[in-house]
Amino acid sequence: MRTLAAVLLALASLAASAETYPTRPVTIIVPFGAGGPADIYARFLGQRLQGALGQSFVVEDRPGGGSVVGSTAVAQSAPDGYTLLLMSNTHTVNETLLPKKPFQLMRDFVAVAPINYSDLLLVVHPSVPAKNVQEFIALAKSQPGKLFYASSGPGTPYHMAGELFKSLAGIDVVHVPHKGSDQARLSILSGQVQMMFDAITTMSQNARAGKVRALATSGRARSAIMPDVPTVAEAGVPGYEATIWLGVVAPKGTPAAIVDRLNAEITKVTTSPDVKEAWAKQGATPLVMKPAEFEQYLRDDIAKWAKVIAQAGIHRD
């Protein structure tokens, strides 16, 4: 009876903590550079959650190691709901590319909620004498190993999109990893590299301004915000598809009641009509799942990229 009473008391305590959560500021760690989609949407989400829950949601950028530095910090933090990780498909990719990293995604984290997904935009610097995908492929084949593409780090969607493109197009373009997407973006804008796959939510403005030349988008269908730009598959690389998605996870052991409350509040944000409308104009589509559904989504994405990595022979530089 004493054991049962103790269990019931613990459950009641957890329920009460979820009802009052949060009672102090919550930190959202973004393991990527400032100015990229993860940073932008983390700050947007933090502002909305702060308004809904009455506590500050502080965004802290900790880039490095292709997301490993910031993610490790969250994995080692207390599982109390006050330290969250803003993740992307970088994490599901790294389960295969970086098997010896300090954490394992499905062992050390609990799924909270997805946020959104968006296409990537294949761009080249205006100095590159290629006006479309086929011309760029021909140029790369004529100069194997002499053209360069930027990414925000090994294992990130920008890196994987580039490697998948190289594999399917049969070209040799050298990967230049950066500490964050902001630095990679500066490299393509300044002409230090010739090519980059970047989130359409951040790079489309530069393309419209003529700072880069947009050759293709990475999704299955053309993007609504750049309808005149063909998909990579449509432009002559059959079977190509790559996107970037974002989500929130917490350290394993975070009380289920707190996870459920966070999921409910994040879902309110992503399903809000004004948010859906604003994100559509940016090229982002909300993702909505319960924690268990998101957990399965993570497992499926890990398996998907493991197969792609093996078939394409993709490796970490």
Span 65-85, average pLDDT: 96
35: closest CA among 253, 182, 201? 182
Span 15-38, average pLDDT: 87
* Bridge partners, 231 (sequence order): 217
Query: What was the pLDDT predicted at 17?
Result: 62
Q: Per-residue confidence at 256, pLDDT binned at 50, 70, 90?
A: very high
Residue extent(s) of CATH 3.40.190.150 domains in the chain: 2-117+244-312
- DSSP assignment of 52-75 equals HHSS-EEEEE---GGGHHHHHHHH
Query: What was the pLDDT predicted at 150?
Result: 97
Q: CA 231 to CA 138: how far, in whole Å? A: 18
Query: What was the pLDDT predicted at 74?
Result: 98
More confident residue, 314 or 281: 281
Q: Are 184 and 158 in contact (CB under 8 A)?
A: yes
Query: Using one digit for the tens of pLDDT, what is the confidence trace for 170-191?
Result: 999 999 999 888 899 999 999 9
45 is written with which tokens?
A: 């989400």
- DSSP assignment of 158-208 equals HHHHHHHHHHHHT---EEEE-SSHHHHHHHHHHTSSSEEEEEHHHHHHHHH
Span 26-35, average pLDDT: 93
30: closest CA among 57, 60, 58, 56? 60
Residue extent(s) of CATH 3.40.190.10 domains in the chain: 119-217
Name, in order, each residue with C-beta under 8 angstroms of 278's C-beta and a sequence gap of 6 or more. Answer: none
More confident residue, 142 or 64: 142
Averaged confidence pLDDT in the chain? 93
pLDDT at residue 7 above 70? no
Span 35-53, average pLDDT: 95
> Which CATH number applies to 119-217: 2.40.128.20, 3.30.56.10, 3.40.50.620, 3.40.190.10?
3.40.190.10
Q: What is the CA radius of gyration of the chain?
A: 21
Go through 171-204 and write b for each residue having 16 or more CB atoms within 10 A of its CB, e for each that does not.
bebebbbbbbbbbbbebbbeeebbbbbbbbbbbb
- Percent pLDDT > 90 in the chain is 84
Q: CA 45 to CA 27: how far, in whole Å? A: 12
Span 44-52, average pLDDT: 97
> Which CATH number applies to 2-117+244-312: 3.40.50.11290, 3.40.50.970, 3.40.50.10470, 3.40.190.150?
3.40.190.150
Query: What was the pLDDT predicted at 4?
Result: 55
Query: Using one digit for the tens of pLDDT, what is the confidence trace for 87-119?
Result: 999 999 999 999 999 999 999 999 999 999 999
Query: How far is residue 163 from each of residues 74, 125, 181, 188, measured CA to CA in Å?
Result: 28, 19, 16, 17
Query: What was the pLDDT predicted at 16?
Result: 47
For tokens 């932008």, the residue is 40
pTM for the full model?
A: 0.85
Q: Are 109 and 83 in contact (CB under 8 A)?
A: no
